Structure 1
């Protein structure tokens, strides 16, 4: 009888040890699962880094394409003269006996490259009565290639104030190169005033590039 009790007790101890071992195996399995999950997170971060590298590579390629396009454009026709490349000056060009007075405006190319200029500049006279815009003379306006350091002039003609009155006092000259929007403001070098008009039109005319000294 005592032998049976010992046998039962021994079986109970073995069963307990077996149960503990099973529990330890389950815990170890859970640890491996957590480790696997963490490893996947690291790969996700690596993919983000790869994506960033690809994006940077694409941006660099686009920049090179743009630069190549700019270089190709330089192989074409001579570019137009820009306001920032031109030195703009004005002087009185009136010659005795002329029907109208004249101011000669000169563009000097200081841009370090040859450029093309053609047509009519925009010309506005600032006066004590407001702005007077010059009208184009209607002469032909061929293109001119202005080499670096070279100059070209055009004429601004206006009637002399022979009325005996004070007329319209001119305070400044605003010049905009052809096909540009940026203007340059100069001191007015011509006669101090314009005759008062009836308002039917502007008395100021601008000649094409290269017209200085040719009249209007």
Structure 2
């Protein structure tokens, strides 16, 4: 009986030792494992790649500057007319006429002078209106078709244009001329002058006027 108890005790001791050894093996295995889980690699941004969207770490964040350019300046409301010289009005001008017929020319010539007495610059451009007064009524002159220019008249300065008409060589009385009416370009107020040329035009049945005028500046003082 004693022998069986000793044998049983020996088996119990052996089993206990075996169980302890198994527990030690499990404990060693657990102690050899890492204490923290591995983390993923963050890498580095390649040169030229997109910048980080996170906040700056070396100073306070600053707001993006706005546009600093100077806004365009608006053009003056009346820039289209600023600096232009006013047109000469009839009241600004002294208008005279003189005979400037040159012997041997096929036509007679009267030159009209327009002198600026306004005390300020003014301009004349284009053709004047010209009518010859006759007992039968006004005879309007036709334009010669010469190119038009612009004359800028300083105070006391003049410009000229010519009136050409055929001489009356018919031997008859023809059409008598009693006066000259001149209206400056772009004006409605005329000036009536004595007629300085030949006393009559040849009578004609042709259409159109035998009297022709040139534009401003088409004649000179001595012409």
- Output the CA distance in 2 between the equivalents of 1:175 and 1:107: 10
Structure 1 residue 178, shift from structure 2 partner: 0.5
- Output the CA distance in 1 between the equivalents of 2:196 and 2:80: 40
- Output the CA distance in 2 between the equivalents of 1:91 and 1:124: 16
- Output the CA distance in 2 between the equivalents of 1:73 and 1:82: 21
Match of 1:183 among 190, 194, 205: 190
Once the two structures are superposed, the pairs formed by residues 11-50 of structure 1 within 5 Å of their partners are none
* Counterpart check, 1:151 vs 2:161: no
Structure 1 residue 142, shift from structure 2 partner: 0.6
Find the residue that maps to 2:207 and give its secondary structure: coil
Find the residue that maps to 1:165 and give its secondary structure: coil
- Output the CA distance in 2 between the equivalents of 1:88 and 1:143: 18
Structure 1 residue 113, shift from structure 2 partner: 0.5
Which structure has the highest helix share of the two? 1
The root-mean-square deviation of aligned C-alpha atoms, in Å, is: 2.0
- TM-score, with length taken from structure 1: 0.64
Find the residue that maps to 2:91 and give its secondary structure: helix
Find the residue that maps to 1:84 and give its secondary structure: helix
* Alignment correspondent of 2:174: 167
Find the residue that maps to 1:78 and give its secondary structure: coil
* Alignment correspondent of 1:112: 119
- Output the CA distance in 1 between the equivalents of 2:200 and 2:220: 21
Deviations 1:6-54 (A, max 9, x none): xxxxxxxxxxxxxxxxxxxxxxxxxxxxxxxxxxxxxxxxxxxxxxxxx
Find the residue that maps to 2:178 and give its secondary structure: strand
Structure 1 residue 195, shift from structure 2 partner: 0.5
Structure 1 residues without counterparts, runs of 5 or longer: 1-68
- Output the CA distance in 2 between the equivalents of 1:130 and 1:202: 13
Verify the 8 A CA contact 1:93 1:213 in the aligned structure 2: no
Match of 1:205 among 188, 208, 212: 212
Structure 1 residue ranges, 4+ long, deviating more than 3 angstroms after superposition: 72-75
* Alignment correspondent of 2:84: 77
Structure 1 residue 109, shift from structure 2 partner: 0.1
Structure 2 residues without counterparts, runs of 5 or longer: 1-76
* Alignment correspondent of 1:23: none
Structure 1 residue 76, shift from structure 2 partner: 2.6
Find the residue that maps to 1:163 and give its secondary structure: coil
Structure 1 residue 144, shift from structure 2 partner: 1.0
Matched residues, number: 145
Find the residue that maps to 2:126 and give its secondary structure: coil
* Alignment correspondent of 1:88: 95
